[in-house]
Structure 1
């Protein structure tokens, strides 16, 4: 009876290994470097230009306030020795008020710009996902992994160039 059980278990393990080996061998896996694809897209430059144009007036306003702030700080440093105490105090108060105003306008502007960049980046990631899905379906890949998560992959498994070409054509 013991020999029968051992033989049965050995047969079960052998048949399981024979079944799983071909299944594993038949899987077709690709890798894609999403960050490299994003950085190489021509749409990235267009996005930067559009965002700069969208926030141009606000950026100019903050930049002019920053220049005025820098000028007043330099003036205080240059002329503090020849200024009266009241003049120095008035200039310092003006600098503090301008600094506070810069913080109140600059920080929300920076957040708005970052939010818009995130929105546009998400649109690009959506296009990249569609391209990956299309290429994976067309070339019958079972799995596509991010190249940064894979320690090693042969170059023939890398579909980054194909994804980049397909997304570059999309508008």
Structure 2
């Protein structure tokens, strides 16, 4: 009885795979390297420069705080032997104040820069997606996969260049 059921299950699986094979053969599949396209776009570099310009004053302020903290730490280390306790305490208080200011400013600045970068990258990715849709529709592709999802692909199935050309129009 077990052998009959195993034979029946094996036949069913084999039969369904034979019927499904022609359906997959009719699919037109393409690959696109979204990350490569993103990096090739001149807008990607412009995003970085624009964000640096947008947050320039805050970045400079944080950098100055870092320099101040380093200066005070080096001074304390270098001159500690010749300083009296009041001078040491004053320098240590300055170091603590700089660290506090850095923690208040650096982390929110980093989060704001990351948020703005993500917003701008999402805009570019939306444009890339629209271009992929346009090329796919024009070439009648049924499935378009990201290049990272494929183990092996012939070059004639890669539509990345066409998508990049579509974006540059």
Name 1:76's counterpart in structure 2.
76
Q: Deviations over 1:89-131 (max 9, x none)?
A: 1101110111111110110000000000000110111011001
Name 1:39's counterpart in structure 2.
39
TM-score (norm 1): 0.85
Distance 2:59 2:116 in 1: 14
More moved, 139-148 vs 76-85: 76-85
Check 1:86–1:14 CA distance in 2 against 1; reply closer, same or farther (3 A cut).
Answer: closer
Name 1:157's counterpart in structure 2.
157
Shift >3 Å, 4+ stretches = 13-18
**Cα root mean square deviation, aligned:** 2.0
**Pairing of 1:1-80 with structure 2 (within 5 A):** 17=18, 20-80=20-80
**How many residues get paired?**
157
Distance 2:135 2:74 in 1: 59
Distance 1:109 1:81 in 2: 37
1:41: how far off?
A: 1.2
Distance 2:105 2:51 in 1: 17
User: Does the aligned pair in 1 maintain the 2:135–2:166 contact within 8 Å?
Assistant: no
User: Does the aligned pair in 1 maintain the 2:28–2:143 contact within 8 Å?
Assistant: yes
- 5+ residue gaps, structure 1: 1-9
TM-score (norm 2): 0.86
1:164: how far off?
A: 2.2
Distance 2:144 2:110 in 1: 35
